[in-house]
Structure 1
Amino acid sequence: MLAALGATAIAQGTSPAPTIVRTVNRTHTVVQENGRPIVRLDAKEGDGFSIVQGPPFAEGTIELMVRGEDVAQQSFVGVAWNVQNDSTYEAVYLRPFNFRTPDTARAKRAVQYVSQPAWPWPKLRAETPGKYEKPVRPIPDPSGWVPLRLVVTRTQVSVYANGGADPDLVVQRLGDVLAGPVALWVGNNSRGDFAELKVTPSTSMPR
Structure 2
Amino acid sequence: MKYIFSLLASGILLMSGNARGQTATLNVNTLEAVSVQMSIEKNGVKVIKDSSVKDADEPTFAKLKNSDFRNGTITVKVLSKLLKDASKTSRGFIGIAFRINPENNKFEAIYIRPTNGRAEDQLRRNHAIQYFSYPNYTYDRLRNESPGVYESYADMGLNEWITMKIVVKENQAKLFLNGNKQPSLIVSDLKHGPDASGGIGLWVDVGTEGYFKDLKIVKE
Class of the TM-score when normalised by the shorter of the 2 chains: 0.7 to 0.9
Tell me by how many angstroms 1:189 deviates. 3.4
2:175 pairs with 122, 146, 159, which one?
A: 159
2:97 pairs with 69, 80, 89, which one?
A: 80
Dislocated runs of 4+, deviation >4 Å: 11-16
1:14 to 1:81, Cα distance in 2 relative to 1, 3 A: closer
Q: 1 CA distance for matches of 2:81 and 2:37?
A: 18
Q: 2 CA distance for matches of 1:95 and 1:188?
A: 11
Whether 2:50 is the aligned partner of 1:29: answer: no
1:63 to 1:192, Cα distance in 2 relative to 1, 3 A: same
1:2-33 Cα distance to aligned partner (Å, 9 max, x none)? xxx93321347785447534111111100113
Whether 2:111 is the aligned partner of 1:105: answer: no
3-state SS of paired residue (1:131): coil
Residue 18 (structure 2) aligns with: none
TM-score (norm 1): 0.84
1:9 pairs with 3, 6, 10, which one?
A: 6
Answer 1 or 2: which has greater strand percent: 2
Please provide the CA RMSD for this pair.
2.2
Is this contact kept in 1: 2:7–2:213, CA < 8 A?
yes
Q: 1 CA distance for matches of 2:210 and 2:173?
A: 22
3-state SS of paired residue (2:42): strand
1:113-164 Cα distance to aligned partner (Å, 9 max, x none)? 111111110000000000001001xx22322110000000001000001222
1:129 to 1:115, Cα distance in 2 relative to 1, 3 A: same
Residue 61 (structure 2) aligns with: 49
Tell me by how many angstroms 1:186 deviates. 0.6
Matched residue type, 1:99:
G
Matched residue type, 1:167:
P
1:116 pairs with 107, 115, 134, which one?
A: 134
Whether 2:80 is the aligned partner of 1:68: answer: yes
Equivalent residues in 2 for 1:132-143, closer than 5 Å: 132-136=150-154, 139-143=155-159
Q: 1 CA distance for matches of 2:79 and 2:117?
A: 13
Matched residue type, 1:193:
Y
Residue 45 (structure 2) aligns with: 39
TM-score (norm 2): 0.80
Q: For structure 1, which segment, 144-153 or 71-80, has the greater mean C-alpha deviation from structure 2 after superposition?
A: 71-80
Q: 1 CA distance for matches of 2:151 and 2:196?
A: 23
Point out where structure 2 has 5 or more consecutive residues left out of the alignment.
Answer: 13-24
Q: 2 CA distance for matches of 1:114 and 1:105?
A: 19
Residue 129 (structure 1) aligns with: 147
Residue 20 (structure 2) aligns with: none
Point out where structure 1 has 5 or more consecutive residues left out of the alignment.
Answer: 203-207
Residue 145 (structure 1) aligns with: 161
